[in-house]
C-alpha cells in the first residue's frame, strides 16, 4: 500500500507510544549520556516549549514519554554539566541536517513544504555523499545516520570534532558540502582545517558536489547571476560531466560564464544542509525512535543506509490500520 504522509491524530500518538515505542530503541549514544543532555518536548504541535528536561535513567524517560505521548520529542546535541539550565557546556555532536523539503534543486514535483518518495531518495543520496567525505577525507568513524521523518540527520560523535567551535564547524560544513570555491594555492583549500589529515584535498570534493548539482539542474532552476540563456547552455553541455570532461564543459560555456556558473553552484551547495543546525552548539534534534507527528513517520536510527527504505522501515503500525 502507499503511505500518505499526513499528521497523526492524538489517538494515533497514544497507540504508537502505548503499543509500539520502546525506550530501548533510543540509540545507545544518547541513552549512555542521558544525564548530560537537555530534553525538550512539543505537546500540542506548536514547537518545543517544554524544555530543560533531564532524565537520570531509561526508566524515567520511558515513564515521561509513555504518559505524555508528545507531538514531538527532542534532545540536545550538546553535553552539559547542568543540562536542566543549559550551563557548563562540555562538547556537542557535529550535525548535518538534510531535510527533503529544503533540498535546493529537487528532482520531484512536490509543492513547497511537502516531501515524497523521490525527494526522500535524493536526501538519502546526499547523506551518503556527506558520510563518505566525513569518513574518507576527515577520517571520522563515529558517524550515526538518523531518518528524521522528512529527511536525515548525520550525527558525528568523534572526540576530534565534538569540541569544535561554531567557526570551525562552519569551515567543516563548507568543505563537506563543496560550498566554497577552492583555493588552488592551498592543498586543503581551508587554512583552518589544518588539524585534520585530509588526503585528497578540497578541490576534488568541490568538483564532486558541483557535478552532482549541475547534473540535477532543471530548466526551472534559479541560480544567482545565471540568466536563462546561460542555464540552457549548461543543460546542453552538462552531459560532458558524466565523463568528467570539465575542460570541454568549460570551453563550451566560456571561461567568464563558467566562473559565474561555479559561483552560483557553490552557493547552491551551501543550501544542501541546514547550516544553522550545524553551527549551533546548543541545538536540540528530534529524538530517534519517537514519532514525527506531522507526517506519521518514525525517527529511526539507520543500521544500513544502503538498504534503508523509510517506507518500509519507518512507518508506524497505526498507519497501516487507518480506515479512510
Read out DSSP for 263-282?
HHHHHHHHTSS-HHHHH-TT
CA-nearest of 174, 9, 157, 177 to 92 is: 157
Gap between the Cα atoms of 249 and 202, Å rounded: 21
The H or E element that residue 82 is part of is strand 78-82
Residue 213: its pLDDT value, please?
Answer: 96
Residue 2: its pLDDT value, please?
Answer: 65
Residue 58: its pLDDT value, please?
Answer: 97
Q: Where do the structural domains in the chain lie, given as residue ranges?
A: 10-86+282-317, 96-143+158-275
Residues 21-32, buried b or exposed e (16+ Cβ, 10 A)? bebeebeeebbe
* Catalytic residue ranges: 97, 99, 274
Per-residue pLDDT of the chain in tens (324 residues, 90 and over written 9): 467 789 999 999 999 999 999 999 999 999 999 999 999 999 999 999 999 999 999 999 999 999 999 999 999 999 999 999 999 999 999 999 999 999 999 989 888 888 999 999 999 999 999 999 999 989 999 999 999 999 999 999 999 999 999 999 998 999 999 998 876 545 445 555 554 545 456 788 889 999 999 999 999 898 888 999 999 999 999 999 999 999 999 999 999 999 999 999 999 999 999 999 999 999 999 999 999 999 999 999 999 999 999 999 999 999 988 865
Q: Is the dihedral of CA 282, 288, 290, 295 positive or negative?
A: positive
* DSSP assignment string, 136-154: HTS----EEEEE-SSEEEE
Q: Please identify which residue in the block is written with the cell numbers 500518505.
A: 4
Q: Strand, coil or helix: what is 5?
A: coil
Other beta carbons less than 10 A from residue 176's beta carbon: 26
Residue 189: its pLDDT value, please?
Answer: 52
Residue 187: its pLDDT value, please?
Answer: 47
The H or E element that residue 214 is part of is helix 202-215
Which residues are within 8 A (CB) of 93 and not within 5 positions of it... i.e. 6 or more apart? Answer: 77, 78, 155, 156, 157, 162
Residue 324: its pLDDT value, please?
Answer: 54
Q: What is the DSSP pairing of strand 72-76 with strand 39-42?
A: antiparallel
Q: With 0-12 CB in 10 A as exposed, 13-18 as middle and 19+ as buried, what is 46? A: exposed
CATH no., domain 10-86+282-317: 3.90.920.10
First to last CA, the chain: 13
Residue 205: its pLDDT value, please?
Answer: 87
Model confidence pTM above 0.85:
yes
Amino acid at each position: 500500500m502507499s503511505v500518505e504522509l499526513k499528521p497523526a491524530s492524538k489517538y494515533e500518538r497514544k497507540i504508537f507510544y502505548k503499543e509500539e515505542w520502546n525506550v530501548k530503541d533510543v540509540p545507545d549514544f544518547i541513552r549512555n549520556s542521558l544525564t548530560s543532555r537537555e530534553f525538550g518536548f512539543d505537546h500540542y504541535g506548536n514547537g518545543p516549549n517544554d524544555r530543560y528536561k533531564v532524565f537520570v535513567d531509561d526508566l524515567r524517560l520511558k515513564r515521561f514519554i509513555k504518559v505524555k505521548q508528545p507531538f514531538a520529542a527532542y534532545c540536545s546535541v550538546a553535553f552539559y554539566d547542568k543540562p536542566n539550565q543549559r550551563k557548563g557546556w562540555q562538547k556537542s555532536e557535529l550535525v548535518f541536517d538534510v531535510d527533503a523539503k529544503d533540498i535546493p534543486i529537487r528532482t520531484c514535483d512536490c509543492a513547497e513544504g511537502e516531501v515524497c518518495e523521490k525527494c526522500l531518495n535524493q536526501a538519502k543520496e546526499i547523506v551518503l555523499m556527506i558520510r563518505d567525505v566525513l569518513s574518507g577525507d576527515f577520517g571520522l568513524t563515529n558517524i550515526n545516520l538518523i531518518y528524521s521523518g522528512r529527511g536525515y540527520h548525520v550525527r558525528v560523535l568523534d572526540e576530534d570534532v565534538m569540541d569544535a567551535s561554531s567557526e570551525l564547524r562552519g569551515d567543516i560544513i563548507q568543505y563537506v558540502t563543496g560550498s566554497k570555491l577552492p583555493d588552488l594555492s592551498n592543498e586543503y583549500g581551508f587554512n583552518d582545517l589544518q588539524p585534520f589529515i585530509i588526503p585528497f584535498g578540497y578541490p576534488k570534493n568541490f568538483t564532486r558536489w558541483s557535478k552532482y548539482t549541475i547534473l540535477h539542474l532543471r530548466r526551472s532552476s534559479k541560480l544567482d547571476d545565471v540568466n536563462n540563456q546561460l542555464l540552457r547552455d549548461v543543460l546542453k553541455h552538462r552531459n560532458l560531466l558524466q565523463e568528467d570532461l570539465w575542460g570541454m564543459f568549460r570551453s563550451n560555456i566560456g571561461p567568464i560564464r563558467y566562473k559565474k556558473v561555479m559561483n552560483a553552484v557553490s552557493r547552491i551547495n551551501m543550501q544542501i544542509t541546514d547550516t544553522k543546525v550545524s553551527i549551533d552548539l546548543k541545538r536540540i534534534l528530534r529524538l530517534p525512535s519517537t514519532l514525527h507527528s506531522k507526517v506519521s513517520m518514525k525517527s529511526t536510527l539507520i543500521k544500513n543506509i544502503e538498504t534503508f527504505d523509510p517506507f518500509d522501515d519507518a512507518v508506524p503500525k497505526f498507519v497501516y490500520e487507518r480506515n479512510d
